[in-house]
Each structure stands twice: as structure tokens, then as C-alpha cells.
Amino acid sequence: MYDTILVTLDGTPSDRAIIEHVKQLAKLAHSRLVLLHVADGWAARTYGPDAVSREITEDATYLENVREEFQSSGILTEAELAYGDPVKEIIKWVEQKGCDLVAMSTHGHRFLADLFLGATATRVQHSISIPVLLLRAK
């Protein structure tokens, strides 16, 4: 059913909701996971993969730690760090990796907050043709 699941991570505590849920789902479906974090700070947006910053170093370490957590649970997992606009990068990775499902945590903002904060999940959901699993973080 879900051979490859793209799990988007933003490096905040809200990630735990999707990590724990996908861990169960991936085991049941025998899925391969692709973890994706999009670095979107100034250095990442300006220099892309050539960027060097504390943010990018921390992001890479975080991704590797989460990848190891899934791997230790017996789930085949790769981790990818992208640079720039999160919505554009998530859509690009869905197409490149041939994903069957995108799994993301949401912060649960309402209308006005979504307008100002970008509503990444909503924009991704309306831009791809595969299912999107959204879990609201506590």
C-alpha cells in the first residue's frame, strides 16, 4: 500500500507526533521512509547545498538522529536535507522519490495564523496527488 513514505520534519517538538505514528504505520505496511527537513534560514535560501551555518549543522544532526531511531526499529530509512522554500522542496521530493504517502505534523493554527505562518501542510496537500497524513501536534 505505502511502499515509500515521505516524512517531513521541522525540527521542533511537534515532530514527535508524526514520528511515533509513522513508526507504527511503516512497520504494518513494510514501508521505506524518506525523512525530509527543509532548511529555510538565510544561509540555506541564499547558498543552498553550499551553505554552512549552525542551523544546517544542527538540522543534519537532528535528521541523522531520527533516521537512526527508525533504523533501530527495523525500518529502512534515509534522511534528506533540502534547502529553500519548504512547500516547493516537499513537492519536489515527492516527485523525485516516488512516494506513496506524505506524513506531516501540523501545529494546528487557525485561519489568521495560517495566513501569516504560511500553512505549509495545506499548500502541500493541494499541490500533490498522493495522500497526505496530517497529525496535529499536541
CATH of 10-103+120-136, one of 3.40.50.10260, 3.40.1410.10, 3.30.70.100, 3.40.50.620: 3.40.50.620
Q: Domain ranges in the chain?
A: 10-103+120-136
> How far from 97 is each of 5, 27, 123, CA to CA, in Å?
9, 19, 19
| pLDDT for res 116 | 40
Structure pTM? 0.86
Which carries the bigger pLDDT value, residue 78 or residue 113?
A: 78
Quote the distance between the C-alpha of residue 12 and its chain's center. Answer: 11
Residue-averaged pLDDT of the chain: 87
Where are the strands (E) in the chain, listed by range?
4-8, 32-39, 77-83, 101-106, 132-136
pLDDT of 28 strictly over 90: yes
| pLDDT for res 107 | 67
